[in-house]
Chains A and B, each alone.
Chain A
């Protein structure tokens, strides 16, 4: 597609439930990033995929968070046993060169 697509745009879930967030990057972009943006905070790096290399998971805040990227394209971020502090906007970005990212509009996650 023309841009980075994320779904759902909004998600309300009960504490303790698992959620899956999806990202469709720009076709041909080899790099894909997940960030989290909490209210009034900057973007917090979560995970980075580059081609077929092992992902950089150094930003994942706990083992409840995981992500995969299938076929070098679509990525899914999974949060298990959600907690209220997981409420945030989850942003996905893709890049061809690793320099300028193109971001999606994000998934706004609310844990109640």
Chain B
């Protein structure tokens, strides 16, 4: 079983819809949670970063972390065709141990105009 599970999609929605993207994880030591967006043939770019449980909002994007359920979400409001990309969740533990992130396999999102 992978440490981080993510539905690969594709997820197809009409323009203007609210999109919900999710990841589950098994390692209770994870404390830092991130969402990356990756366009085709490009490297991932950081969208949202949260520490521990709670919500964080940035424009049309909201990230939620529920550590009790080991479940994180990214919501995109008023989705646009330009949001069409692969969305990767990533996370790591606390402290000065291994600082590398563990990534989900990504969810491909298609926003239809």
Binding site for B on A (CB under 8 A): 4, 31, 33, 35, 40-43, 45, 48, 50, 56, 58-59, 91, 93, 98-106, 108
Contacts and interface: CB of A to CB of B under 8 A. Distances in A.
A26 B58 CA distance: 25
Interface stretch (B11-19, B70-78, B98-106): B98-106
Contacts of A104: 43
Top 5 closest A-B pairs, CB basis? A103-B43, A42-B105, A43-B103, A42-B103, A100-B46
A1 B14 CA distance: 38
B105 A101 contact: no
Given A31-B99, A42-B103, A43-B88, 13 more contacts: A33-B100, A43-B101, A45-B101, A48-B98, A56-B99, A98-B99, A99-B34, A99-B49, A101-B44, A102-B46, A103-B44, A104-B43, A108-B41
Contact of A40 (B100, B101, B105): B105
B57 interface: no
A108 B40 CA distance: 12
Nearest to A9: B41
Given A40-B8, A42-B105, A56-B100, A105 B41 contact: yes
Given A42-B4, A99-B49, A91 B103 contact: no
Nearest to B5: A42
A103 B45 contact: yes
A42 B36 CA distance: 12
Q: Which of B45, B90, B99, B100 has the most CB of A within 10 A?
A: B100
B32 interface: yes
